[in-house]
Amino acid sequence: MNKKEVIEKVIEIIAESTGLETEIIRPDSTLFNELPINSIDLVDILYSLEMEYDISLKLSDLEKQSREAMEGKPFEIDNVVTDEGLKVLAEKMPEIPAERLIKGLTVTDIVKLFTVESLTKLVLYKLESSEAEG
């Protein structure tokens, strides 16, 4: 499964779940700011992707990956992402403009940064992980 195929499927599922036209859903569109996706839509989108690819998806998997990459250093302190954590996020999410990964970003705000491409990368990560396990 290649990235292009997965991103096309993610866009298709977002369109089906929200009623949006596929033409307005771009890989760099943020799920919560640029697209009118709410938490109920997101649950439906994640469920549809899980069924499509036979995987389990959690947006918190990105945070988990970032914490693992920190090798014991704190990713966040009092729910605020550390400077080192921001650097790891920038590496894990290069699709996010640097000006959005700013000092004071909270762990709960990370989900607001998710783009269609971020979601695609999460699907690909889970597919690769399940292949490695299987």
Q: What is the pTM of this model?
A: 0.87
**pLDDT tens digits along 67-118:** 899 988 999 999 999 999 999 999 999 999 999 999 999 999 998 999 999 9
Quick one: how far is CA 23 from the chain centroid? 20
User: If you write DSSP's letter for every residue of 25-78 in order, what string do you get?
Assistant: --TT-BTTTTS---HHHHHHHHHHHHHHHT----THHHHHHHHHHTTTS-SEET
Superfamily of domain 1-58+114-134: ACP-like (1.10.1200.10)
pLDDT per residue as tens digits for the range 4-17: 999 999 999 999 99
Residue 127 DSSP symbol: H
Domain boundaries, the chain: 1-58+114-134, 60-113
Banded pLDDT at 132 (limits 50, 70, 90): low
Residue 55: which pLDDT band, with cuts at 50, 70 and 90? very high
Which structure tokens are listed for 94?
């290069």
In this prediction, residue 134 carries a pLDDT of 60
